[in-house]
Amino acid sequence: MRKLLTTTAIAAVALMALSGCSTRTDTTGGSSAAAGFPADSLIGVALPSKTSENWVLAGGLFEDGLKAAGFKGDVQYAGASTTVKDQQDQISAMVTKGAKVIIIGAADGGQLGTQVKAAHDAGAIVIAYDRLILNTTDVDYYVAYDNFKVGELQGQALLDGLKAKKPAGPYNIELFSGSSDDANSAVFFNGAMSVLQPKIDDGTLVVASGQTDIKQTATAGWKAENAQSRMDSLLTSTYGGKTLDGVLSPNDTLARAIITSVKAAGKEIPVVTGQDSEAESVKSIMAGEQYSTINKDTRVLVAQAIDMVKVLQKGETPEVNDTKSYDNGKKVVPAFLLPPVIVTKANAAEAYANDPKLSPLTK
Ligand code: BGC
C-alpha cells in the first residue's frame, strides 16, 4: 500500500527485482483480456455491506451503467453480519455463472485470495474497486480515489479548522481511523498523519488521550456505534476538565457519531473532519457543525470502472495512471486514481454544483 510497504511487500518487491521480474507483469488478467469477450457478457459486481452512502449509490449506478453499456450486470452486496462469507460466496457464484469481469469492493481485502484465484482460473478479469485486495497476484486493476491524498486533505482540513477557530495552539485533538479489515483505513490514516505528525512533534497538536496508534484509533466495521462509544469513553477518561478542539474522523458516518457523542456530553462541538459527502454531513457542514468532508463523486468512480470493462471487452488494455503506489503484498496493482476534493462550508456550493442531490443542500 502506498507509503506503507509491509515487510513482506518489501521482500516481495526486492525478490522480483532480484529475479529480474518487473512488478508490472500480468496486468491484463491473462489471455481473456487479449481476446476480449462478447459484448453482452455477464459482469459481476461484489460490494461490501452498506456501511456508508457511497456503497448504496454505487450499487444502483453499476446496475444502470452496465445495462446501458449492453452488459448483463450481477450486483451483490455482502450482508451486515456475515459480511466476509457472503462476499466470498457471491464472488464464487459469479465465477460459476461465467462472469468475464468481476469488480470487487472488498468487505475484507485480505480474505478473497481463494475466490479471485478461482476467477482468474476461469479466465475472468478482477478489478478492485475503491478498496484494494491484498496478498494475491490475482487482481488485475485497481480503480479508486487517491486514498493517501484523502488522508492528507483530512489532516490539512483539521489544521485549517483549528486555526480558524483559535489562532494559536496547542490544540487538544483525538484521532479516529476506519476498520482494520479495509485496506483503505491505513492509507487514509497514514495520509492524515503525514500532515499531523510534525504538528504533534512540535507541540502544536496534543493527542490528550495518548491514543495515536492505528490499533487504538480503529473503528471496527466502520460502524457508527463503535466510534460513538469510543468518543464517549475518551470524553469521560480525558476531557473532564479539558477542551477537545478537534477530531480526525476518517468518514462522514463516523464524524456524525462523534458529534452525537460530544453533544450528548454537553460539550462544544470540536473541528471534525469527514469523507464521502453524505447528505446528512453536507447538511451538518452547512449548519456549522461538521467541519469538512471529501467529495469522491461515486458517479465518476463507477463510470471509470465501467469504462475499464468496455476497454477489456474489446480486448484492449485499460488506461492506468499509477503503477507504483498500490503494492498489495504480492504485486503492485496498476491503478487508475481519481482526485478527491476537500469540501468545507466555504466551497460546498461550488463543489456540489453538478450534483443534483447535494447542490440544493448548499443553498
Ligand atoms: C471508502 C470510504 C468509506 C468507507 C466506509 C472506504 O473503503 O473508501 O469512502 O467511507 O469505506 O464505508
pLDDT tens-digit map of 162-200: 999 999 989 999 999 999 999 999 999 999 999 999 999
Atom of ligand 1 at shortest range from CA of 147: 8
The residue written with cell numbers 462550508 in the block is: 345
Please give the distance, rounded to the nearest whole angstrom, from the Cα atom of residue 162 to the centre of ligand 1.
25
pLDDT in tens, 265-308: 999 999 999 999 999 999 999 999 999 999 999 999 999 999 99
CB 76 within 8 A of CB 45: yes
Residue nearest ligand 1's atom 8 by CA: 130
Question: Which residue from 83, 142, 184, 278 has its CB within 8 A of the most atoms of ligand 1, so it is best to mutate?
Answer: 184
DSSP state of 359: G
Burial of residue 238 (number of CB atoms within 10 Å: 0-12, 13-18, 19+)? middle
Q: What is the pTM of this model?
A: 0.90
Atom of ligand 1 at shortest range from CA of 105: 7
Please give the distance, rounded to the nearest whole angstrom, from the Cα atom of residue 35 to the centre of ligand 1.
34
Residue nearest ligand 1's atom 9 by CA: 276
Residue nearest ligand 1's atom 10 by CA: 251
- Count of all residues that appear for the chain in the document: 363
**C-beta neighbour count of 164 within 10 angstroms:** 12
Question: What local confidence, expressed as pLDDT, does residue 81 receive?
Answer: 79
Backbone angles phi, psi at 103, to 5 degrees: -100, 125
Residue nearest ligand 1's atom 6 by CA: 184
Of 89, 270, 253, 76, the residue nearest 171 (C-alpha): 270
Question: Which residue from 53, 54, 131 has its CB within 8 A of the most atoms of ligand 1, so it is best to mutate?
Answer: 54
The residue written with cell numbers 456505534 in the block is: 225
Please give the distance, rounded to the nearest whole angstrom, from the Cα atom of residue 131 to the centre of ligand 1.
8
Q: Give the integer Cα–Cα distance in Å for 144 and 320.
A: 11
CB 335 within 8 A of CB 324: no
Q: Which ranges of the chain have pLDDT less than 70?
A: 1-34
Of 287, 278, 251, 269, the residue nearest 352 (C-alpha): 278
Please give the distance, rounded to the nearest whole angstrom, from the Cα atom of residue 337 to the centre of ligand 1.
15
**Neighbouring C-alpha atoms within 13 Å toward the C-beta of 59:** 14
Please give the distance, rounded to the nearest whole angstrom, from the Cα atom of residue 185 to the centre of ligand 1.
8
Joined grid coordinates for residue 118: 478461482
Q: Are strands 341-344 and 171-175 parallel, antiparallel or unpaired?
A: unpaired
Cα-trace Rg, the chain: 21
- Beta strands (DSSP E) in the chain are 42-47, 72-77, 101-104, 125-129, 141-145, 171-175, 205-207, 246-248, 271-272, 292-295, 335-338, 341-344
Q: Give the integer Cα–Cα distance in Å for 283 and 293.
A: 11
Atom of ligand 1 at shortest range from CA of 182: 7
CB 299 within 8 A of CB 61: yes
Burial of residue 276 (number of CB atoms within 10 Å: 0-12, 13-18, 19+)? buried
Q: Give the integer Cα–Cα distance in Å for 58 and 221.
A: 19
Question: What local confidence, expressed as pLDDT, does residue 80 receive?
Answer: 81
Q: Give the chain's domains with CATH numbers.
A: 7-139+297-339 (3.40.50.2300), 147-295 (3.40.50.2300)
